[in-house]
Chains A and B, each alone.
Chain A
Amino acid sequence: MTAVFWFLAGVTVLAAAGVMALPNVFHASLCFALSFFALAGVYLTLGAEFLAAIQILIYTGAIAVIIAFAVMLTPPAIGHSNLSNRQRLWAGAVALLALGLLAGGLVPVRWPEPGPLRATSAASLGELMLTRYVVPFEVAGFILLVALIAAITVAKGALKP
């Protein structure tokens, strides 16, 4: 399984790099989808069946598609993004800062030894969500509802003369 894992991990990272490096916005959005899809495969090799299915359903099937859809709605003149500008210095500084912060947080952590993988079933996940994590679960649902209503309001407002 390790070879499959590394292959999929490589595809995930390369596709993610493609999102940033490709000049064509539509190609970039497809790379986005590929990255999500390969990540679902990574989850599968780690025994997280449910997470993999959800990853494909939500990220590849919904988010990436909506992004590609939005790109198609833009006029062809914006189809090619400008990859370089005069902000390189600032961008580099921000990137270094982010790297430093992340490394500062991640390096000191003592990761547990990788033991045998346990498959998590959808049933046990659902059980946890409705017992131990019921408050975060409901809060997330509520926030999504608010976002939904807000989106409808914005769209309705745009229709009025």
Chain B
Amino acid sequence: MPAGWPRVILYASLASLVVLGLVSGIVLFLVYLERRVLGRLQARIGPNRVGPWGLLQTTADALKLLTKEDIVPAEADRILFVLAPLVVFFGAAMAFAVVPAGPRLVLVDLGVGVLFVVGMGSLAMLGYLMAGWASHSKYSLLGGMRAVAQLVSYELPLTLALLGVVILSGSLAATRIVEVQRHGWFILLQPLGFFIYFTAGLAEINRSPFDLPEGESELVGGYHTEYSGMRWALFFLAEYAGVFSLSALAATLYLGGWLGPWLPGPVWLLLKTFALVFAIIWLRGTWLRPRLDQLLSFSWKFLLPLSLVNLAFTAAEVYFLRWLGVA
């Protein structure tokens, strides 16, 4: 169908632009929010000089990063070094495509949306490996290895926790999962699942308390030690895009997504998402960073068995709901 091609290409580029714009805008605000909230948590004020309430501080920082000199280490594997941040960012940004802000307000209503998100998350792993390997630095290498060991371990409980939602809603599509929650949010039926998803999700996006891959005190900066300027900013962008998409997905899958009275759907989604973003920042301000072995055994010996229990619990729940005649 060659006739439809210009439209397909136009649609694809528009969708990509929307995602890119959304991600950049959201990240600029998130970084500001994090610095302000962390400031309050640490009994200081935080940025308040550039623009009203310091709102333009992160924009100024982004401009500074854009104009910085582009440095590639002499021994680095140049092609992979350049590609790595792009792969990480791609993986983080793609998750935005399937989060619905309303019954029809979604970029791609994939029938397998939930699986798609998990898959894109694992794509970022390759980016971390590439960055760690290509930098030709031991700190980067160790950071990359840590990132992947962690991601591989936490992907399992994450996926198993999501299965609970899939069983209850009988669908893998994000829009359908939200529609089903009209009768009650899944966090009420899946409190364990929500806990596992959120914890494993934090590990998946390398957020504190699971930020070992970039533990400043041990690894300088982890896999992005050798990065600077715009390339470093891409890693940064990807991390905050991850924070937002984790929260948006948790809101969609467990907190009823766009559903809510009086206010329009997208506003509800944003409110729920930002409540979770706030919780993530709060955790960063108050939690300790565990050791690597503690981190891994927490996943394999606690979170994974717990997610299996949750699965059995969900199956029992479905039978109970059927018996009640609700589902």
Of the candidate stretches A57-65, A97-105, A137-145, the one touching chain B is A57-65
CB-CB < 8 A to A37: which residues of B? 123
Chain B interface residue count: which class? 20 to 34
Given A33-B126, A57-B119, A61-B125, A72 and B111 contact (CB-CB distance below 8 Å): no
Q: Are B129 and A53 in contact (CB under 8 A)?
A: no
Indicate whether A68 reaches chain B with its CB closer than 8 angstroms: yes
B239-276 interface bits toward A, Cβ cutoff 8 Å, 1 = contact, 0 = none: 00000000000000000000000000000000000000
**Distance (whole angstroms) from the CB of B39 to the closest CB of chain A:** 37
Q: Which of A52, A53, A54, A68 contacts B126 (CB 8 A)?
A: A68
Q: Are A61 and B80 in contact (CB under 8 A)?
A: no
Q: Which of A29-61 contact B (CB under 8 A)?
A: 30, 33, 37, 49-50, 52-54, 56-57, 60-61
CB-CB < 8 A to A57: which residues of B? 115, 118-119, 122
- Roughly how many angstroms separate A60 CA and B118 CA in the complex, as a whole number? 12
Which residue of the partner chain A has the closest CB to B117?
A53
Q: Are B122 and A56 in contact (CB under 8 A)?
A: yes
Q: Are B119 and A60 in contact (CB under 8 A)?
A: yes
CB-CB < 8 A to B129: which residues of A? 65, 68-69, 72
**Distance (whole angstroms) from the CB of B134 to the closest CB of chain A:** 9
Q: Are B111 and A121 in contact (CB under 8 A)?
A: yes
Of the candidate stretches B22-30, B140-148, B210-218, B312-320, the one touching chain A is B140-148
User: Beyond A53-B110, A61-B155, A65-B125: 17 further Cβ-contacts under 8 Å?
Assistant: A1-B1, A3-B5, A27-B80, A50-B111, A50-B115, A56-B122, A57-B119, A60-B119, A61-B119, A61-B122, A62-B122, A65-B148, A72-B132, A72-B133, A119-B111, A122-B172, A123-B170
A/B interface sample: 9 pairs, CB < 8 A: A30-B126, A53-B119, A60-B126, A61-B123, A65-B126, A69-B149, A119-B111, A122-B111, A122-B172
